[in-house]
Amino acid sequence: MSTDDVLVFIAAVSAGSLAAAARRLGLTPMVATRRLASLETSVGVRLLHRTTRSLSLTPEGESFLPFAQALIDNEAAAMALLRSGVESASGLLRISVPISFGLKFIMPIVPGLLERNPDLRISVDMTDSLPDLVATGTDLAIRIARLRDSSLIARKLADNPRTIVASPQYLVRRGIPSSIDALSEHDCLSLTGATHWTFRLPEGERHARLNGRFSCSSIAGCYSACLAGGGLAMLSNWYVDDDIKAGRLERIDLGAAQPEPINIWAIYPTSRLLLPKVRVFIGALQGKLTESGIHGPID
């Protein structure tokens, strides 16, 4: 498979026609057509539906597109590294981040990254679910979780202590729980599908079954409902520290029971090298976390 052929495919999708792609790449229409045909022969499937007036992706072409873009981006990054002798970020960096974390830590570092790296482009998918990194062409995902075994590579960025919080109006209305057992008498705001919260005690781990009528696919929704007086929520300290200081939320003390500690992870596919664009991004994020008082440097 030739990267020149792949480049024609990407340009055709972007430009909307082979003729426009040929002009963009400085090729004749005949050469562009031959290169696309060569690519389709190499992969063994048709990638584009083509007529004299229109062009559209086949299902196979749609699946192949993120891989094709990654191939071109990775080649560009590798050449830039070899020519300069130093790490420089270039190409399109596709990252996936949780909504609340992305708003607080990712968005503030993006302008500086783009300014310092003029050949870098960044596409951010903000979602609390972990996408298929390979199928979507995602270079890096940031997640706050207890990770399960998988084929992905995960590197710890920082510790992420959590706490149970509630609004003052909710506590006036329903009282303040003082133990894990007391949580069963309260509305617990949870992520969709969650059945319990996990706590660490001196004698070991304990699960508290959740009792509540509200769940949300995003932790940001749980936070907003908690702030509005909807119940108790287990949230990252960095998310609620300002609200606690301002009196908008109160920390719930459950004695020796501490919310299960989880970490902030950088996750990327095993099939990809840790390219300069990924290293540069992780370095900037690590700096932002340290600046914010969230510790735990990359190993």
36: CATH: 1.10.10.10
Q: Is the pLDDT of residue 236 over 80?
A: yes
pLDDT score recorded for residue 298: 43
pLDDT score recorded for residue 110: 96
Q: Is the pLDDT of residue 88 over 70?
A: no
pLDDT score recorded for residue 187: 96
Whose tokens are 């050949």? That residue is 119
pLDDT score recorded for residue 72: 74
Residue 77 lies in a domain: no
> Which neighbouring-strand residues pair with 94?
123
Label each residue of the chain as H, E or C: CCHHHHHHHHHHHHHCCHHHHHHHHCCCHHHHHHHHHHHHHHHCCCCEEECCCCEEECHHHHHHHHHHHHHHHHHHHHHHHHHHCCCCCCEEEEEEECHHHHHHHHHHHHHHHHHHCCCEEEEEEECCCCCCHHHHCCCEEEEEECCCCCCEEEEEEEEECEEEEECHHHHHHHCCCCCCHHHHHCCEEEECCCCEEEEEECCEEEEEECCCCCEECCHHHHHHHHHCCCCEEEEEHHHHHHHHHHCCCEECCCCCCEECCEEEEEEEECCCCCCHHHHHHHHHHHHHHHHCCCCCCCC
CATH of the domain at 147: 3.40.190.10
Lowest mean pLDDT among 44-48, 50-54, 243-247: 50-54
Residues 197 and 143 in one domain: no
CB neighbours of 203 closer than 8 A, spacing ≥ 6?
Answer: none
pLDDT score recorded for residue 136: 76
Range of 137's domain? 89-159+263-291
Residues 103 and 238 in one domain: no
Residue 224 lies in a domain: yes
Lowest mean pLDDT among 18-27, 47-56, 198-207, 221-230: 47-56
Tell me which of 103 and 73 has the higher pLDDT: 103
Range with top average pLDDT, 125-139, 152-166, 245-259: 245-259
At 271, the pLDDT band (50, 70, 90 cuts) reads: very low
Number of domains observed in the structure of the chain: 3
Q: What is the mean pLDDT of the chain?
A: 86
Residues 37 and 173 in one domain: no
Residue-wise pLDDT tens digits, 92-126: 899 999 999 999 999 999 999 999 999 899 999 99
Predicted TM-score (pTM) of this structure:
0.69
